[in-house]
Each structure stands twice: as C-alpha cells, then as structure tokens.
Structure 1
Amino acid sequence: MNNSTPSPGQVRTLLCVSVARELWTISPPRLTAPPHHPASPPRHTTLAVKWEEKQEAQT
C-alpha cells in the first residue's frame, strides 16, 4: 500500500461496497423471493445514490 490519498472515485467505490456489505449483513436479500417492485433498484444502490447527492450538495 502506498501513502497517496485515494481519488474521490476510489473513496466512493469503497463506500458503496462497504454500505452494500453492511446492508447485506443486516438483512440478506431473499434470493428466492420475488422482488416487490421489479423496477425499483436494490436498497443499497438507492442509499448510495442519495448519499452521493448529499455529499455533492455539501461541496
């Protein structure tokens, strides 16, 4: 590992991955159950997008 600061894109990717992992641990998706809303994105995707929008609004 080098000591250079990660780019915002890398940070965002890491955060999305960690958020997805957290949510997967809290409530694992029921792979056999039919989706309630086929059109709606997975919960972690929606959260990540909302979080990104909030971050961009702050800058």
Structure 2
Amino acid sequence: MIPRDHFVYGSDWGVPCTDEASVARNVEFLHNSSVLTASEVKALGHRVLELVPRAAARLR
C-alpha cells in the first residue's frame, strides 16, 4: 500500500463503461468513504490540477 499522499491518477473516461453517472457515483463514494478523511478527499480534487495543468488552465 502506498501512503495517502502518493495517490496515482488513472482514468477510464472515454471507455464504454464510464459515463457521467458512473463518475458521479465514484465521486459520491469518495465523499462518503470512511477510508479517506474529508481533507484527503478534498486534496484529491486539487491534486489533479497539478497533475493535469491543461485541465487546470481550462478552469481559470
């Protein structure tokens, strides 16, 4: 197991099994999980902006 500050980003977006509903369920699961703290879940949402700067630029 890796430390929680070393989560690795992976995406299935674009494959037939992934749609907006399944992404929403995954996000809801993260928010309601007892595995991660609320601050860790929040950090995941911000970490992606560091990993994918082009996505971050689109949000500005």
How does the TM-score come out when normalised to structure 1?
0.29
> Taking CA–CA contacts closer than 8 Å with sequence separation of 6 or more, which of the two structures ends up with the larger relative contact order?
1
Which structure would you say has the larger Rg? Answer: 1
How does the TM-score come out when normalised to structure 2?
0.29
